[in-house]
A and B are shown apart, each in its own frame.
Chain A
């Protein structure tokens, strides 16, 4: 196994702030941690170099700020068709995540949708892909939020 970067309490604080807002204020973290802004920036760089921080993400609701729905799509596929289906799915606009799964279904995807019309488009597009036997659509009724606080921990824990 690769030697992993030791993550301490202050690193966790930095990661959590950046996971809430990519443009968060380093000065504020520095103040709360009794460290200099330079020290915070150095830790940020160190985590970037170690590959803990891989980049940034931006999720925007272009058409309609209120239309920020997510559709969960689960598919039962014909044998050996999974990779081709995943390739086709990944071309749909708004795909957040699409992968093979082990369980009741074979493929799982999460797709951003802004309107009923878009749900219909996704559903029709998926049905047309060769090898799709059954699709199950589940609409998320909450805004898709992420909870970094449930997984961030220091290395010693």
Chain B
């Protein structure tokens, strides 16, 4: 990863839809170079996610809850996470290491909706315990944003 890559990422972190031509002009390079670098970084995983963000409230979700999940010892956590991923209202699901075996984030429209969805997850096979945390305030921007580019900006300037 060189300085040009960093600068491209810095530009895209401001607006992931910024035209490649604008970026190229600003960085004093050709549009083709920017496109090539971008495609390379997407292919090798340097750029993990590039997406729009949406306001969950505006599409009817007024709260989010985090869940840390314990599964039965003999169960396969990968299988359970696969099921979580396919569950309505689940926006994040991953296996974990530590005191819990899985982590998931749920978006809900109201308390009844939360109750219904948590019950549904508790009823999945091989789940032992679900610790639920209500976020205050809930996540509104989906997917999440990160502040990592503040640090990136500094290193790109030097």
Chain B binds chain A: yes
Q: Please list the residues of chain A having a beta carbon within 8 angstroms of any beta carbon in chain B.
A: 4-5, 7, 15, 18-23, 50-63, 65-66, 68, 70, 72, 74, 90, 93-97, 99-105, 108, 110, 112, 136-148, 150-153
Q: Is the CB of A62 within 8 A of B1?
A: yes
A143 CA to B93 CA, complexed, in Å:
9
On whether A151 and B56 interact (CB within 8 A), knowing A57-B145, A65-B46, A94-B147, the answer reads yes
Task: Name the one of B66, B103, B136, B147 contacting A140, with C-beta atoms under 8 angstroms.
Answer: B103
Q: Is the CB of A56 within 8 A of B16?
A: yes
Q: Is the CB of B94 within 8 A of A144?
A: yes
Q: What is the interface of chain B mostly: helix, strand, loop, or mixed?
A: mixed
Q: Is the CB of B142 within 8 A of A148?
A: yes
- Least distance between A143 CB and chain B CB atoms (Å): 7
List residues of chain A with CB within 8 A of the CB of B1: 62-63
Q: Please list the residues of chain B having a beta carbon within 8 angstroms of any beta carbon in chain A.
A: 1, 6, 9, 12-13, 15-17, 41, 44-56, 58-61, 66, 68, 81, 85-100, 103, 107, 131-139, 141-152
Identify 28 residue pairs between A and B in the complex whose beta-carbon atoms are under 8 Å apart, listed by A's number.
Answer: A4-B58, A18-B51, A18-B52, A20-B51, A21-B50, A22-B16, A23-B16, A52-B54, A52-B55, A55-B15, A60-B13, A61-B45, A61-B46, A63-B1, A65-B46, A66-B45, A93-B147, A93-B151, A95-B147, A103-B134, A143-B94, A145-B85, A146-B91, A148-B91, A150-B86, A150-B87, A151-B61, A153-B60
Q: Is the CB of B9 within 8 A of A141?
A: no
Q: Is the CB of B9 within 8 A of A54?
A: no
Minimal Cβ-Cβ distance residue in B for A11: B59
Q: Is the CB of A104 within 8 A of B136?
A: no
List residues of chain B with CB within 8 A of the CB of A74: 68, 133
